[in-house]
C-alpha cells in the first residue's frame, strides 16, 4: 500500500477535484438567470467536497475532527447530487451526463463513507 503523504494523494480527493472541475465547465453553459442560484450553488457544493477532505486531512491527528470534516464532505457530496438533479430536470444537462456524474459521485460517496468508518487507517 502506498504511503499517503498529502490529501492530494487520496484517490477520493483526486476524483472529487476532477468532478468539481467538470461541473465548473458544464455549468458555464447554464442560463444567465441561474448565475446566483443553481450555478453558484452546484459549484460551491462540488468544490466543498474537496475542501472538506483537505481540512479533514489537516486535522487527522484528532480522529473525531477528521471524521467530522469528512462528514461535512459527505454532506456536500449529497448536496451536489441534488443540484445535479435540478440541472437535468431543468434540461441544463443531458440525462447521460447526469448519469455519469451520479455514478462518479457514488464512488466518491463510498470512499468517504469508508474513510469515516475506518479513520484509524488515516489517523496515526
Domain ranges across the chain:
8-118
DSSP string, 57-91: HHTTTSHHHHHHHHHHHHHHHHHHHHHHHHHHHTT
pLDDT at site 1: 54
- Residue 12, CA atoms < 13 Å, CB-side half-sphere: 26
Residue 91: left if φ>0, alpha if ψ -120 to 50, beta else—which one? left
pLDDT at site 124: 75
- Architecture per CATH, domain 8-118, reads as Up-down Bundle (1.20)
79 has a pLDDT exceeding 70: yes
10 Å CB burial of residue 35 (0-12, 13-18, 19+) is exposed
Which set of grid coordinates corresponds to residue 104? 462518479
Mean pLDDT taken over the chain:
96
pLDDT at site 2: 66
What is the model's pTM?
A: 0.95
> In the predicted model, what is the mean pLDDT of residues 46-59?
97
Percent of the chain with pLDDT over 70: 98
pLDDT digits (tens, 9 = 90+) for 10-36: 999 999 999 999 999 999 999 999 998
Amino acid at each position: 500500500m502506498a504511503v499517503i503523504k498529502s490529501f492530494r494523494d487520496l484517490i477520493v480527493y483526486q476524483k472529487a477535484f476532477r468532478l468539481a472541475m467538470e461541473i465548473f465547465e458544464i455549468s458555464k453553459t447554464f442560463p444567465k438567470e441561474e448565475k446566483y442560484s443553481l450555478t453558484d450553488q452546484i459549484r460551491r457544493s462540488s468544490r466543498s467536497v474537496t475542501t472538506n477532505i483537505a481540512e479533514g486531512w489537516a486535522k487527522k491527528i484528532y480522529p473525531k475532527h477528521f471524521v467530522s470534516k469528512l462528514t461535512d464532505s459527505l454532506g456536500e457530496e449529497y448536496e451536489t447530487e441534488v443540484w445535479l438533479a435540478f440541472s437535468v430536470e431543468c434540461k441544463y444537462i443531458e440525462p447521460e451526463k447526469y448519469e455519469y456524474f451520479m455514478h462518479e459521485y457514488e464512488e466518491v460517496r463510498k470512499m468517504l463513507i469508508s474513510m469515516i468508518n475506518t479513520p484509524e487507517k488515516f489517523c496515526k
